[in-house]
């Protein structure tokens, strides 16, 4: 009965957990009463699992959003980005020691690569271990 799918999440052991309690449980911060409820109630436990995997996906996406790709960093070093992108990367470099270190490495390597005449991508792979 696929029409009942949306009702599957309803709690079978009222009172149902609040949204805040479900989020706390997904974060591993549930109190005893919440944990006891989750042991008795597969519906709420399933909700917590769903929240947990959602949080994992969001974190991964945020991490990727925050760090520009290596290609972007190479373009940044070569001045190929438009002003908006350039400002965004510069702002990111202030906050992110990993990318700042990568740019420092790229900028150190660039003059040598220019002499050798590598393409930007060749330059990048020359830097990789």
Residues that bind Zn ion (CB under 5 A): 11, 13, 41, 44, 67, 96, 98-99
Q: How far is the CB of 97 from Zn ion (least distance, A)?
A: 8
Q: How far is the CB of 2 from Zn ion (least distance, A)?
A: 22
Both tokens of 93, joined, read: 């470099």
Three-state DSSP state, 92? helix
Distance (Å, whole) CA 129 – CA 125: 8
> By C-beta, is 43 or 78 nearer to Zn ion?
43
For 117, other C-beta atoms within 10 Å of its C-beta total 8
> By C-beta, is 101 or 126 nearer to Zn ion?
101
> By C-beta, is 7 or 98 nearer to Zn ion?
98
Residue 84 vs residues 27, 80, 90, 91, 104: alpha-carbon distances, Å: 36, 11, 10, 11, 21
> By C-beta, is 9 or 27 nearer to Zn ion?
9
Q: How far is the CB of 116 from Zn ion (least distance, A)?
A: 27
Residue 55 vs residues 24, 51, 61, 114, 127: alpha-carbon distances, Å: 12, 6, 10, 44, 34
Q: How far is the CB of 106 from Zn ion (least distance, A)?
A: 13
């Amino acid at each position: 009965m696929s029409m009942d799918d949306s009702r599957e999440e309803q709690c079978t052991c009222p009172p149902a957990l609040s949204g805040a309690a479900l989020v706390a449980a997904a974060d591993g911060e549930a109190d005893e009463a919440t944990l006891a409820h989750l042991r008795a109630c597969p519906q709420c436990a399933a909700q917590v699992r769903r929240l947990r995997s959602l949080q994992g996906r969001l974190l991964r996406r945020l991490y990727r959003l925050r760090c520009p790709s290596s290609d972007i960093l190479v373009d940044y070093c070569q001045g190929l980005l438009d002003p908006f992108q350039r400002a965004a990367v510069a702002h990111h470099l202030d906050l992110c020691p990993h990318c700042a270190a990568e740019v420092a490495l790229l900028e150190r390597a660039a003059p040598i690569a220019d002499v050798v005449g590598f393409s930007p991508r060749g330059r990048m792979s020359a830097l990789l271990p």
